[in-house]
Every structure is written in C-alpha cells, then in structure tokens.
Structure 1
C-alpha cells in the first residue's frame, strides 16, 4: 500500500483541534466484519443460514447484532491495512480519534481495543445501521458540520465526506479520491493494489486440478486411450471436477478463515489475507458450481450423480468432517477415489475393484501424511493441536504408524492384482508389472521419511507433482506398464 499526502499541511494547532473519525471495514482492515462474522457463524452452525434472512427482515443493524452475539472473532488475526493503522496511531498522539463503523458495536470495540488509542467507538447498535447518510448525521450531531476529518474507502462514504472538514481516502484506483475531492478537502490517499488474475488463480487453486487427473485412470486401465469419444468424455469430466473442486476450495477458504490465518502458509491465501473481497467468494463459488453441473449434463446421468455425491461429501468435509479424528482422512481417501469412479462413469466403463482398493489405501496414507505434517508443525510452534483439526500432538506416532501401514497395504493390493486373472487378460507380459512393487515401496517409504524430518509440503499430492524423484519414479513406472502391454 502506498500513501500520498495531497493537501498542504494545516496549522498544527488547527489540525489538533479537529477529531479524526476512522472507518473500519475496508479502511482499517482489508475485510468486512459482517461477512467475516456471518461466515464464522455458518462454519460453526450451518443451519443459521435459514435464520439470517429472518433477522434481516428486522433491519441490517439487527442482523449484524444477532450474528455478532453468536461468534467470537480474534481481532489480532484480521488482515489490517498496516499503513493506515500506522498513520492513525501517529495521529492519536496529537488529536482525538474515533473508530466510526457500520459494524456491530461488539465487534468494532474488539478491533478498537486491539489497535488501541481510540478515544471512542461509534458503531451499529442493533437498531441503527451506522452507514452512509446515517453515519454522516451522527458525526455532524456530535462534532458539527465540517468539524471532523474522516477516513473511508467506499462510495457510500461520500455522504460523510460532504459534511467533513477533510477526507482521507483508502482506495485501489483514483476515482474515489477524485469524487471525495469534489465535496471536501482531500488531505491524503492510501492506495492498495487490486486482486490480479494471479490472485484469483491462487484462490481457485487451479494448480490443485492436477488431482483430477485421476478421472483418466479408468481410461488408461481399460486401454481405451485411443478412443476419441472416451478421451473427450474423460477430458470433460476433468473440467467438471476442476470447476466443482474450485467452488469447494473457495467455500472452504471462506469458512476456514480463522484457522488459515493461524497457519504459516495459508494465511497468505487471497481471502484470508484480504486481497480478494470476501463478498465475492460466495458468488464465484456458486457460479463455478453451476457451470460444472451444466457441463456434466453432456455426460452420463451416473457421472452427474457421482459429481453430486462428491460435492455433498466435500462440503460436509469442509463444514464438519475435517475436525473429526480419523473420519477426516477416510473421507479424503474417499474423495480421491470418487474421482476414479467419476472417470469410469464418464466413459461408461465398469470401475475396477483393484483400482478402487488401491486408491483407498494409497490416498489414506497420503491423507495421514498431510495430518502428520500439520501436527508436526503445531508441535514445533509449541501448540498442543493443529488449528481447525481434531488431532493433538500426542497423535503423531499413531498417525505415522497407521499411515505407513496403509501405504504398504496399497503395495499388497498391487501385488495381488498382478497375480490375478484381471491383469493377465489386459497385459501380454503381466510379470513385468512386478517391478512396480519395489518402486512404490520406495516412494511410500521416502515420502514418510521426508514427512518425519519435517520438510514435507503441506499437501503431499503437490509434493508428489513437484518432487523430481517422484517424477523420475513415475516415468519408470510408465515404461514398465508400456512394456507389459
């Protein structure tokens, strides 16, 4: 964020006699407390989504109050506009400062106490929504016309600036400051960057679409790669799952803001960091979901049902299951395996029992790696449990034991498949496939060794894609499979 003083400095004595009124949402913080609190409530009690419209019928101020009474926000974890905070603190040493927000008084007071130095807090009280013209009226009644300076960030603040002595503008462009300069003295602007396409790609986690390559496995396992219709169907299934997964990722990020902000890496995600406005999240999530299911109708009804099941289960995971010990990792393994089921449904092929069994065990092991890595990071930071999870650091040895065992069971399933009639009917040289077993044993053992040493990526699937050794083993495995056909 950059700061620019646009008006000549006023006489120090005059400046000190003019109180400074500071907006909260979008100004002091890069977020909106109404959206923050509503999401926090929905994460804890999803059924409250039905109560919110009823509260809104009694007014926006009442809605804010009812939500605020049911949540506990950590003001220290909110994404602050640090340049604005630093400037306000500098002003506090020489004049009266007021935090003036449309947020509910309870939440506004929490932020004021955390930042410190404010002489008073003026906020919505359950009956009056302190926004726009209402805020201007209250400030004029308290200080007088043109007897206060105001810091704001939105067009609705023009109502306040019309009655203010000077405007301090927080914006991402220059239009708002130009409009403010038309109604009062423009004293200073704080400019921050807008969300770029790179930020949106990160928010949608397009890089995670690599997981959806699993929908091609039934195509490969059935040796139907050179059938154009099957290949197109699998590609469309890949896109559908990518869009659906991105919708869920956005929803998960919105519901998991508090935990993400305590995480060393996740706190930089666009929504958690306040780079992308929170209110855009639900809109984008819904749009992606509609497009995903619209495209799915071009495939089979079975595929649509599998995609629906995936969405319901992954939403349930985001809302509840990820905080339930052991059930969370089993659900993760099921979600990966569901992609294989979807791939089979898309090409109208019967899913392989061997492939599904192998998938469950290998991805259960990787899910355990993920939890182990999170717990190890919590232990290093002197925490007793991982944020937003049900595990405690004492579970480390248990997770390591179960995860390693699950990985080795996937090797056993592979070995049994190689020795079955199913492989003999598909491969001319099935005995070559035995070479896959030591490769997989090595990869699983190495993955757990890296996790044990505390240098594993937060997402082991991303690790597998980025790791050079894993890539090399994948190439060797592909050569072995091709030689077996």
Structure 2
C-alpha cells in the first residue's frame, strides 16, 4: 500500500468515527431517562416483583426509547436552520454542527421505524400508544411548537403517553390520580424548559419564544408545580397512605429544580439537570427507594 492510499484511509477513519458518534448523539440516548415514566404503573401497582410484568415494562421502555430517538431525528431535521442560530444547539446537535449529514439522519430514521414495526408483534397495545406519540410529535415538529401554550401541552402530553404505555405493557388501568399528577409535573418541566430558552437564547432561534414573557411562563410553572404537589399529596393520603413519607421528597425536588433554573441558569433540559445536580439526583433516588419500601409486600406495614 503506497503512502497516498494510507493517508486517504487515515483521513477517512476519523470521518467515519465522527459520523458514527454523531448518529449516536442524534438519537440522544441520555434523554431516554425520560422514558422511565413507563415504569410508574409498574411501581405504583406493586407489580415490581413480578418477573413477567418487569420484562413487559422493560420491552415497553426499549420501544419508547426507539420512538423517542426517532422523534428527535425528525425534529432536528426540521430545525436545522433554527438550531444553527442557537448558541448551544449549533455546537451540540450533530445536524446543526454538520457532524451528520441529513441523508445519514434519514437512513437512521428509516432503521428506527423498521425496528418499531417489530414492536407490533411483541406489544401491539403499547405500539398503539407509541403511534399516537409519534403522530403527536410530527405535528409538534411541523406546527404545534410554533403555537403558544399548545407547544407546552404537547411536550407534557409525551410524558402522559409514556405512563399510558407502561400501563398497557402490564395490562393495568391508569388511575385518574396518576394521570393528573403526571400532566401537572410534565407541564411544570415544559414551562421551565421554555423559560430557560427564553432567558438564554435569541427569539430568532425559536419563533414561539417571541409570544411568551418570563413572567407569564413563571405563572404557568407555579400553577403546574402547585397542581403536581397537590394532586400527588391527595393521591397519597387517599389511596396510598403508606407513602406519605414520600411527599417531602417531591416538595424538595420541585424546590431544587426551581433553584437550578432560577439561580444557576440551568434547567432547559430536565434530564441533563438531573444528571448534573447531585442533590436532585439523590432526591429522586431517595423518592424511588422510599416508594419501593412503602409498597413492598408487608414492607410498609
């Protein structure tokens, strides 16, 4: 092999490695943490010791993670130009930075959709929820994200659908308490996300930001956080009194996340905020551990 050929191969390998890394980043695996909402019905119904229920919930989690990655790709393809105006997204997002070509992203998207088709054989009811999630996010990418208030409710609806998918996976109904609590919590997270975008970026990066004010979004966040705490507390005291010790963790978590966004200027990504902040992460772990202890057969008595 002559030196010219060797130089070409050396140059090609880093490019391939960079593109592969970009495709992985395009799927945003760190955001799969949001899909743990799928496990909420498994925990609150006390089926977390049932091997079959656990396996079905895990499959639902994987399917929803693939679907979420597909929606991120669709959204990034649609948002290439606006992401290039964003101070952070222009460097971090593979399509906006040029690390991944649109054609490569579309090929990956086709592969993810093909994998999801197999899901209809494994969990048809879960896939029905996922199809609704995919359609909702297509509408979000092309229209709803430009509509004030509707954009926040669309983001929040994705979390509610995750919970429904988890319930379908283990064949249990979603309680009204779980529905309204999840919706309020998701609205709070979505409102904070918009608040941080409004504070940290120019309105050219996202058209809908021009239709909001920080004061307005703060009121949305306050109302949603209050609703989440109120409905969760009512659920615990009426349906699961053994879980009353989990309420302080929820209250502290809301306070801490608000501190992260208001005082530290973070919070645009709930997942990144959770991973980066030790106090918030420990609070969530403590909440989960306390819930499991309280709901463990004979353990909370």
Partner in structure 2 of residue 351 of structure 1: 174
TM-score normalised per structure 2:
0.88
Give the Å deviation of 1:366: 0.4
How many angstroms apart in 2 are the aligned matches of 1:284 and 1:325?
A: 31
How many angstroms apart in 2 are the aligned matches of 1:210 and 1:275?
A: 24
| Aligned residue pair count | 289
Give CA-to-partner distance per residue, 1:401-426, whole Å, 9 cap, x none: 11122012101001111221x32xxx
- Which is greater in Rg? 1
Q: Does 1:467 align with 2:277?
A: yes
How many angstroms apart in 2 are the aligned matches of 1:230 and 1:470?
A: 28
Pick one of 235, 244, 250 that aligns with 1:434. 244
Q: Does 1:285 align with 2:131?
A: no
Kept after mapping to 2: 8 A contact 1:261/1:267: yes
Partner in structure 2 of residue 450 of structure 1: 260
Give the Å deviation of 1:271: 1.2
Partner in structure 2 of residue 413 of structure 1: 231
Matched position secondary structure for 2:15: coil
Partner in structure 2 of residue 273 of structure 1: 97
Give the Å deviation of 1:465: 3.2
Give the Å deviation of 1:204: 1.0
Kept after mapping to 2: 8 A contact 1:375/1:393: no
CA 1:249–1:333 in 2, change beyond 3 Å: closer, same or farther? same
Pick one of 212, 215, 221 that aligns with 1:403. 221
CA 1:278–1:292 in 2, change beyond 3 Å: closer, same or farther? same
Q: Of the two structures, which has the highest relative contact order with CA contacts closer than 8 Å and spacing of 6 or more?
A: 2
Partner in structure 1 of residue 290 of structure 2: 480
Give CA-to-partner distance per residue, 1:254-297, whole Å, 9 cap, x none: 11001111111111211111111211111211210120231242
Kept after mapping to 2: 8 A contact 1:358/1:414: yes
How many angstroms apart in 2 are the aligned matches of 1:372 and 1:331?
A: 16
Task: Say which is worse superposed, 356-365 or 222-231, in terms of deviation.
Answer: 222-231
Give the Å deviation of 1:346: 1.0
Kept after mapping to 2: 8 A contact 1:237/1:296: no
CA 1:358–1:465 in 2, change beyond 3 Å: closer, same or farther? farther
**Which blocks of at least 5 consecutive residues in structure 2 are unaligned?**
296-301
Partner in structure 1 of residue 299 of structure 2: none
Question: Runs of 4+ in structure 1 displaced over 3 angstroms?
Answer: 189-192
Partner in structure 2 of residue 326 of structure 1: 149
Pick one of 6, 15, 21 that aligns with 1:193. 15
**Which blocks of at least 5 consecutive residues in structure 1 are unaligned?**
1-5, 7-172, 176-188, 424-429
Partner in structure 2 of residue 15 of structure 1: none
How many angstroms apart in 2 are the aligned matches of 1:223 and 1:191?
A: 50
Partner in structure 2 of residue 369 of structure 1: 192
Give the Å deviation of 1:461: 2.9
More helix, by proportion = 2
Give CA-to-partner distance per residue, 1:180-234, whole Å, 9 cap, x none: xxxxxxxxx9997333432221111111111111111111111111222211111
Kept after mapping to 2: 8 A contact 1:297/1:304: no
CA 1:418–1:285 in 2, change beyond 3 Å: closer, same or farther? same
More strand, by proportion = 1
TM-score normalised per structure 1:
0.56
Q: Does 1:294 align with 2:118?
A: yes
Task: Say which is worse superposed, 251-260 or 474-483, in terms of deviation.
Answer: 474-483
Give the Å deviation of 1:452: 2.1
How many angstroms apart in 2 are the aligned matches of 1:344 and 1:191?
A: 45
CA 1:394–1:218 in 2, change beyond 3 Å: closer, same or farther? closer
